[in-house]
Structure 1
Amino acid sequence: MEKRHSEIRILKEIAELLNEGTEITGILSEVLTKLLHVTGLSIGWIFMIGPDGKHLLAAKENLPPALSHSDYEPMCKGDCWCLDRYNNGRLQKAINIIECKRIEDALAARREDTNGLTHHATIPLRAGSEKFGILNVGAPNKTHFEPEELALLESIAFQIGTALKRIKLTELEQETALTAERNRLARDLHDSVNQLLFSLSLTARGGAEMTKEIDTKETFTYIQDLAQEALSEMRALIWQLRPRGLENGIMSALVGYGQMLGLQVQSEVNGVVSLPGKVEEALWRIGQEALANCKKHSGQTNAAIQLSIEKHKVIMIISDCGSGFHYNEELGSIPSLGLQSMRSRTENLNGQFSLQSSPQNGTEIQIIIPI
């Protein structure tokens, strides 16, 4: 009875911690620390695993030097048996016990600083049929977990998976609310400020046609030019907030945006897939910036966009045959804030950003984002 009460207390403490969490990385670190403390274990780590099977070390606690050296390189690279079982569908419940291939690799490299860790239990993190990653726990010189221990770890892993699902659903709800607010703001700008600027442009044009005084005519003409410039800026802003055609796909929206800027955009799409909201948003913002740069700096009115959907990744290439600029990718110095923003948006989604340009040879930007 006392042991049962202890398990209930552990589950309660973990549940309370998970219910308070709103950010995935932070909550995983906190719950792993709590888990090890209440179970008496000492070493643990969590792998988040994407649809492409690639893993991310999302949380870790007391990893031995053999696994934590070089900024946790042994844990961030390569495959292991628990990942293989997860990716091929064989890891459905807590496993007792997996000999750690990463430890074996460390010993093969003649590293003795494993702190007695030779084995670990592996438990999948899931909510229903949706999988998120793996929880691994162990202790020095521990080579066996009792069935009761595995059952408790499996219950905790299910709690973690449910919390991850809740956080992802909350993030999706926030994205939906943000999109709705952008649409509302775009409508308000179009119905009010946009119409006022259009009226101001017509009024200034009428004033210029009615007056015969040169100075007054020039003033009205100047006001009309300012109103037209502001109107163009407002239309671009409305496009950024709510792109017409995005409901028909990212390529349709980018081609339309390029036409609004006065560019002829050649497009090519390979593969069809419904992109995640964050990925589509990133590609849209990156494409906007790239096309705007083409309009401002290339000296050309033509641009090309290629969008390819391959297994677990989307590739977008935007290029022009304009004036280009000096750039050495090996030095890694991005020459403008706009380009830095593109790279930042790409890397925030674990993607790869590539830029190629040289004088009189145009510019090409390649974006690869996992999906």
Structure 2
Amino acid sequence: MGTVGNGRPSRPGSGAGRRAGAVVLRRPDELRVLNAVAEALNSSPDVRQALERTLTLVASLLGLRTGWVWLLDPETQQFYSAAVQNLPPYLHEPVRMTGHSCWCIEEFNAGELTPKNIDVIECSRLRPAVKKKAVHLTHGLRYHASIPLYFQKKPLGIMNLTGPSWRRMSAGELRLLSTIAYQVGIAIERARLAEESARLARTEERARIAREIHDTLAQGLTAIALHLEGALAQLERSPRRARERLERALEVSRESLEEARQSVLDLRAVPLAGKPLAEALTALGRRFTSETGVRVHVRAEAGPRRPAPSGGSKPEGGQRQAEVAGAFDALPERVEA
């Protein structure tokens, strides 16, 4: 099967009934799967691992073996590969998994792929290898089920699932996939809201530190000015007292400079348009994945605390630094920074 007359992707045959080997889901089985998916989504430390575990569970349940998830970058509105499961060799090439448009993405963007309309279409990314009958590259894959991911009416991405011997999906399977997509959408949005909450907290902390710097400098400069005025007034009558005032002014200036320097250090982990390093690298990684197909995962770990300077300066508050452990994965389709 190729594309239909208007150039849209073809669908597998839609004969009545399920083919032999179709999975028959009972209510207890559905609940068990939904509980397992919920546990995977809630226990994973980040969205990528949650999606990969969900792909594994769903593919295993439906007798499929391959899947991948496209997510929509909220900043660039470009799709990027967020998670994969057992891709065939043909899709291991990063250039074939970039966020450029394909048939499932086109249907998603056109509003034809909705939570109530899970579709099964031919994979346009695999089609060149399918036409050449390169089974060693496709592993017999041709069609996939495309499950749209939404949070309420907000589009988030697409989950694709496939196997070498495609079959019709039962109404129970489609209903289950729709429910799983709903769970995944909630998890993705919850993670993004958590990131936004953390970003707002950092913004508030930066504003507090900025006020602290302002107050430190204002108080220090006021004290220095008073000492200088006193020194000038006593310069002729009492040089010794004038010298003491000048020495005090110098001491205050040094203390104020140290406090201001310490406060500025607290702001140094906010590069790239007001984002901390780990968050900025994550955003750049999503864009890089969308453009090249090379998946990037950023792992941030809390850095060591700076020792408190002598002189009674205030101790550091909170986790204001993140140290990014960078390591490039040997596999060409994924980079870990």
**TM-score bin (small chain):** 0.5 to 0.7
Q: Which fold has the larger relative contact order, with Cα–Cα distance below 8 Å and residues 6 or more apart in sequence? A: 2
1:97 — aligned with what?
Answer: 120
Is residue 283 of structure 1 aligned with residue 273 of structure 2?
yes
Of 73, 82, 102, which aligns to 1:50?
73
2:42 — aligned with what?
Answer: 19
Take 1:148 and 1:131, find their aligned partners in 2: how far apart are those partners?
Answer: 24
Q: Is the 8 A contact 2:69 2:160 kept in 1?
A: yes
Closer, same or farther: CA 104–17 of 1 in aligned 2, 3 Å: same
Write the deviation string for residues 93-144 of structure 1: whole angstroms up to 9, x where unpaired.
Answer: 3434201111102335674311111111001001110111000001112143
Identity between Structure 1 and Structure 2 (%) = 30
Write the deviation string for residues 293-317 of structure 1: whole angstroms up to 9, x where unpaired.
Answer: xxxxxxxxxxxxxxxxxxxxxxxxx
Q: Is the 8 A contact 1:117 1:141 kept in 2?
A: yes
Closer, same or farther: CA 123–178 of 1 in aligned 2, 3 Å: same
Is residue 79 of structure 1 aligned with residue 101 of structure 2?
yes
Moved more, 128-137 or 39-48: 39-48
Take 1:188 and 1:126, find their aligned partners in 2: how far apart are those partners?
Answer: 42
Closer, same or farther: CA 74–130 of 1 in aligned 2, 3 Å: same
Unaligned runs of 5+ in 1: 242-279, 287-339, 352-371
Write the deviation string for residues 147-191 of structure 1: whole angstroms up to 9, x where unpaired.
Answer: 222221111111100111111222222222333333334444444
Take 1:83 and 1:89, find their aligned partners in 2: how far apart are those partners?
Answer: 10
Q: Is the 8 A contact 2:209 2:263 kept in 1?
A: no
1:307 — aligned with what?
Answer: none
Of 340, 343, 347, which aligns to 2:284?
347
1:159-170 correspondence to structure 2 within 5 Å: 159-170=183-194
2:203 — aligned with what?
Answer: 179
RMSD: 4.0
Is residue 234 of structure 1 aligned with residue 260 of structure 2?
yes
Write the deviation string for residues 221-279 of structure 1: whole angstroms up to 9, x where unpaired.
Answer: 895598299569939967x96xxxxxxxxxxxxxxxxxxxxxxxxxxxxxxxxxxxxxx
TM-score (norm 1): 0.58
Deviation at 1:73, TM superposition (A): 2.1
Amino acid at match of 2:148: P
2:220 — aligned with what?
Answer: 197
Amino acid at match of 2:287: N
Q: How many residues align?
A: 257
Moved more, 12-21 or 113-122: 12-21
Q: Which has the higher strand share?
A: 1
1:302 — aligned with what?
Answer: none
Take 2:235 and 2:179, find their aligned partners in 1: how far apart are those partners?
Answer: 83
Bigger radius of gyration among the two: 2
Amino acid at match of 1:24: V
Q: Which has the higher helix share?
A: 1
